[in-house]
Structure 1
Amino acid sequence: MNINKIARRLQKDRPMTMVSIRIPDDVIEDLKRVAPKLGFSGYQALIKAYIGQGLRADLERLENSIEVSALIESLRKKGVKEEIISSAMAEVRNSA
């Protein structure tokens, strides 16, 4: 994520949109119980934190995937053989 996006996300006065979701009662009770133990003012703040964590992880994974795809395409254009690219990708997957 670039520095401008990070700076915007840290602003306290960002525009907000109200959403409504249905969550089972027992999950809400668990969130209410866990939130103060994790230092949150309430369960809604905890839900926002969970959504933010998941979103950041997915964005990072997707952005890295796009960068890897661009790198692979560039290697192909430069004449790197497909079997070398495949071998390198397998090596990276196995080391992760």
Structure 2
Amino acid sequence: MSRLHIADTGLFVAMGQPSNSRYQAVRRFARRNDITFVLPERVYEELTLDDPNIEAPPVNDAIDEGWATVAAPLEFSEPIVSRAMDGVQRYIANADDCPADRG
């Protein structure tokens, strides 16, 4: 089984509900290729906000069906994780043309 890590909410937002052809296509793709989509807790939390004005993407359906899962939190004390996060912050800062340490 392969695992694809999802960095943001975009995939699940774009797929829409299970009746949507995009959702069904991604589900078929995952099943045919034995792929599990792995979401960081932060992404999962964004997808499952309890807001009556927003129709929540069906991430829990995908989890129940076995082709998506929520990852354990990252350990920022691990050197590979902190280097990756620093690199991402630098990349975003360069793309936005602002200092990486500016919030």
Indicate the TM-score class for this superposition, using the shorter chain for normalisation: under 0.3
Taking structure 2 as the reference length, the TM-score comes to: 0.21
* TM-score normalised to structure 1 length: 0.23
Q: Which protein, 1 or 2, shows the higher relative CO under an 8 Å CA cutoff with sep ≥ 6?
A: 2
Structure with the largest fraction of strand: 2
